[in-house]
Structure 1
Amino acid sequence: MKHDHLSTLLTLKQCRVINAIMRKGSEQNASLALNLSQSSVSRALAQAEQTLQVSIFSRGWSGAELTADGEVVLATCTSILNAIADLERSLQDMAHSALTLKNHLEWRHLMVLEAVCRLGSASVAAEALGITQPAVSKTLKEVENMVRQPLFERMRHGLLPLSAAKQLAALFLRTLPIAQSLQQTLQSQPNELSGRLSVGMLSFSCQDIVPIAFASIFKQHPRIRLQAMQGPYHMLANALVQGEIDCFLGLLRTGPIHPDLIEIPLLHAQYALIARADHPIHHKATSLKDLTDERWIVARHGTPIREYFETLFHSIDNKPPIQAIEMLTFASSEELVIHSDAIALLFYDDWNITQLNPRLKQVPIKQPKPDCTIGITLHRDHQSPIIENFIAELKGTIKAKLA
């Protein structure tokens, strides 16, 4: 194999870089792990993407995230790097100091070593590879320094490969086809939706419909990488503007906080006062004023639920109760209500309120303007067939649920 044939492969350095970015979450952290400059890591990744003509990573919520093609590339890199690591552990038993194969081995080292093993001569190998004999000798010396032991025994009529050389040659013959098949594997991927769908969810929102929509997408489009994460509004809005997520769901505000964001209503809901089913408040309370001394479970400040909570008490010229427990998830709030004397202000769509946990009960007090809307927030310039598919699945899930 000539040197120029290796130009169509990922280099082993590029494999190490891709693996490190995946493990560490960013190019900066990968550069620290590999003891390389960040520019070197960035350049290696860019060259790998140019060689393969695919995007390997995209910017995500938690840093660099693999694309669908990146998953295929990583699988190849991991297979090759694991084989090198296994051989290094095997050879370590015969060395007196730490080996450096995992950090410095490249295809040219393996190619030269395999040719010398097969042909039994550095000069013949040099001729076969189209390089000079000094280049072969220099390469062999580099590998000897990595494995901390001799590779060949010099004989009268050539070079006799020792155990380490034979194992390295076998490694080359085993891993080269894996590297060579990567381009074909990428090109043979099915022509279907692929990429990332990263969905943010505001507290208390859409925990029941997003998993159903995800399951349907996963069944139809297995090459889409699905992600869901929860966070407060400003964090999710900023992540959406920065392209770290593709959309987020929850109670709609009076309008998005950024001019590039748009909102699509999906589902009507209502605020509801919820207490334990056997709570005495169900019998003694006739108005909001009867609730002023109760303990409350509410969402955090800055959320529509908290704003509505404060509006309730301002409507009766009362300050909102100070003693309140802030919860982040719908399930934890309901569970806390069941096991306490607290009252929760939550919101439910028409289906969920009829399916309320039997250990819970809605407090029968009329609330002013309880209507609210659950919807999805998008970036107006970052639409895609994947997001369109997700919205269609959400609408289908909601329709089936309400039916």
Structure 2
Amino acid sequence: MSKPNLNFPLTLKQCRVIREIMKKGTEKEASSSLNLSQSSVSRSLSQAEQALQVDIFTRGWSGAEPTSAGEVVISSCNSILQAISDTECQLQSNVTALLKLKTYVEWRHLLIVEAVVKVGSASVAAQTLGMTQPAVSKTLKEIENMVQQPLFSRARRGLIPQAAAKQLASLFLRISPVAQSLQHSLQSLPNELTGRLSVGMLSFSCQDIVPIAFASIFKQHSGIRLQAMQGPYHMLANALRQGEIDCFLGLMRKGPIHPELIEVPLLPAQYALIARADHPIHNDAKTLNNLVNERWIVARHGTPIRDYFESLFHSIDNKPPIQALEMLTFASSEELVIHSDAIALLFYDDWNIKQLNPRLKQISIPLPNPECTIGITLHRERQSAIIQTFIEELKLTIKHKSPSTQL
């Protein structure tokens, strides 16, 4: 045999690929960093996942994101590669040439060095490993080139290990148990929900229920990776279609813009005009016509709340104000109202309007058809147990917050 029978689930190249994908976020960036072709990186990752029988990464909002099993794999890879890097730093102090240990070393190099250190003979090590002596000698030459210093000196009684060989043998004995225990670590993962839950939140959404639902899931299912991000509708819809997120929350529209998406209603809400509590508008304004010349804080174009804002002024035969400040978050809009003379068009469920910040006050002008609905948008064909768990937690959160408002 020309190669030893190694009982390691991952090659060191695969460890390097996995770590670099984690660091860079994409296979393309990892391939550039490692100076490998993208096909080589993709193949290494695929072979690693097949060997371990787990998915290491899933496609996410910002690129490749580790699964729960992937977190275990990445932790092992980091431990192994850090130990190799530390050893290279120690060996580098002996020579001026740049070493290449952490870039090219593989298990067979370390295994053979450790075997020769143990038995003091290349021929005996070859027999022990089921290899030919020329194959052992060639491998020793390869790793000597990586560390730019001799590993053994010859004596009548065999090969005498030098300091570099002893360090490499010690390295092998430290990292091989980490690699060999990886599959057991994966099999020992708790038998519970695992994976990723990535939730998008539309601007101006009632986002207070998401952290509460997340906290409950976090307590019950330690194997779920939780993510939340905010963005406009089209961005989140495309991310959902591409599998980068699992769902998103916000004001429902008149049907999703993509046929593969569906909406599930969660919570009734209503549009409301909000101003600073001591704003003179509360005494001066009686109808919408009195608000035409005010400064406004609104959601961006293309959102249901912006459409409603413009419809208000069309209903009184007025053009919507041109000078309107667009804000992306609910909290920042309320804060801006508090510190300015602007009026905001926002939406609240019954509980939140009753808990309105005391520095804010709803303008008592009746609005036409102010009812709206907060819902969750899902992919028609990708609805997992994790997503269903999240929806149930959202419903429980709404029920506990305001028992009478759940749909």
The TM-score with structure 1 as length reference comes to 0.98
State the partner residue of 1:124: 124
Q: Is 1:6 the counterpart of 2:16 in the alignment?
A: no
State the partner residue of 1:315: 315
State the partner residue of 1:263: 263
Q: Which amino acid aligns with 1:93?
A: S
Provide runs of 4+ in structure 1 moved above 6 Å.
none
Contact 2:7 2:180 in 1 (8 A): no
Shift of the alpha carbon at 1:172? Answer: 0.3
State the partner residue of 1:245: 245
Shift of the alpha carbon at 1:149? Answer: 1.0
Residues 74-125 of structure 1, C-alpha deviation per residue, up to 9 Å, x if partnerless?
1110110010011111111111111111110100000000001011111111
In the alignment, the residues of structure 2 paired with residue 243 and residue 8 of structure 1 have an alpha-carbon distance, to the nearest angstrom, of: 32
Shift of the alpha carbon at 1:206? Answer: 3.1
State the partner residue of 1:392: 392
Alignment RMSD, CA only? 1.0
In the alignment, the residues of structure 1 paired with residue 244 and residue 325 of structure 2 have an alpha-carbon distance, to the nearest angstrom, of: 31
Contact 1:8 1:51 in 2 (8 A): no
Contact 1:299 1:305 in 2 (8 A): yes
Contact 1:351 1:402 in 2 (8 A): yes
In the alignment, the residues of structure 2 paired with residue 341 and residue 26 of structure 1 have an alpha-carbon distance, to the nearest angstrom, of: 46
State the partner residue of 1:186: 186
In the alignment, the residues of structure 2 paired with residue 259 and residue 273 of structure 1 have an alpha-carbon distance, to the nearest angstrom, of: 34
State the partner residue of 2:211: 211
Q: Which amino acid aligns with 2:314?
A: H
Secondary structure of the corresponding residue to residue 254 of structure 1? coil
Q: Equivalent residues in 2 for 1:339-354 (5 A)?
A: 339-354=339-354
Shift of the alpha carbon at 1:4? Answer: 5.6
Secondary structure of the corresponding residue to residue 6 of structure 2? helix
Residues 167-187 of structure 1, C-alpha deviation per residue, up to 9 Å, x if partnerless?
100010111011000011111
Residues 20-52 of structure 1, C-alpha deviation per residue, up to 9 Å, x if partnerless?
001111111110000000010011011101111
State the partner residue of 2:134: 134
Q: Is 1:174 the counterpart of 2:174 in the alignment?
A: yes
Q: Which amino acid aligns with 1:179?
A: A
State the partner residue of 1:327: 327
State the partner residue of 1:226: 226
Residues 257-296 of structure 1, C-alpha deviation per residue, up to 9 Å, x if partnerless?
1111110000000110100011110000000000000000
Secondary structure of the corresponding residue to residue 6 of structure 1? coil
Q: Equivalent residues in 2 for 1:2-401 (5 A)?
A: 3=3, 5-6=5-6, 8-401=8-401
Shift of the alpha carbon at 1:3? Answer: 4.9
Secondary structure of the corresponding residue to residue 377 of structure 1? strand
Q: Which runs of 5+ in 2 are unaligned?
A: none
Shift of the alpha carbon at 1:7? Answer: 5.2
Q: Which amino acid aligns with 1:326?
A: E
In the alignment, the residues of structure 2 paired with residue 55 and residue 9 of structure 1 have an alpha-carbon distance, to the nearest angstrom, of: 14
Q: Which amino acid aligns with 2:54?
A: V
In the alignment, the residues of structure 2 paired with residue 192 and residue 86 of structure 1 have an alpha-carbon distance, to the nearest angstrom, of: 37
Shift of the alpha carbon at 1:8? Answer: 4.3
Contact 2:203 2:232 in 1 (8 A): yes
In the alignment, the residues of structure 2 paired with residue 342 and residue 59 of structure 1 have an alpha-carbon distance, to the nearest angstrom, of: 42
In the alignment, the residues of structure 2 paired with residue 351 and residue 57 of structure 1 have an alpha-carbon distance, to the nearest angstrom, of: 40
Q: Which amino acid aligns with 2:362?
A: Q
In the alignment, the residues of structure 2 paired with residue 9 and residue 87 of structure 1 have an alpha-carbon distance, to the nearest angstrom, of: 22
Contact 2:8 2:179 in 1 (8 A): no
Q: Which amino acid aligns with 1:315?
A: S
Secondary structure of the corresponding residue to residue 361 of structure 2? strand
Change (3 A) 1:235 1:220: same
Number of matched pairs: 402
In the alignment, the residues of structure 2 paired with residue 64 and residue 361 of structure 1 have an alpha-carbon distance, to the nearest angstrom, of: 45
Q: Which amino acid aligns with 1:162?
A: Q
Q: Which amino acid aligns with 1:386?
A: I
Secondary structure of the corresponding residue to residue 174 of structure 1? helix
State the partner residue of 2:402: 402
Contact 2:112 2:125 in 1 (8 A): yes
Residues 343-363 of structure 1, C-alpha deviation per residue, up to 9 Å, x if partnerless?
001000000000000000011
Shift of the alpha carbon at 1:303? Answer: 0.3
Q: Which runs of 5+ in 1 are unaligned?
A: none
In the alignment, the residues of structure 1 paired with residue 296 and residue 7 of structure 2 have an alpha-carbon distance, to the nearest angstrom, of: 66
In the alignment, the residues of structure 2 paired with residue 376 and residue 109 of structure 1 have an alpha-carbon distance, to the nearest angstrom, of: 54
Residues 344-384 of structure 1, C-alpha deviation per residue, up to 9 Å, x if partnerless?
01000000000000000011111111110000000111011
Shift of the alpha carbon at 1:132? Answer: 1.0
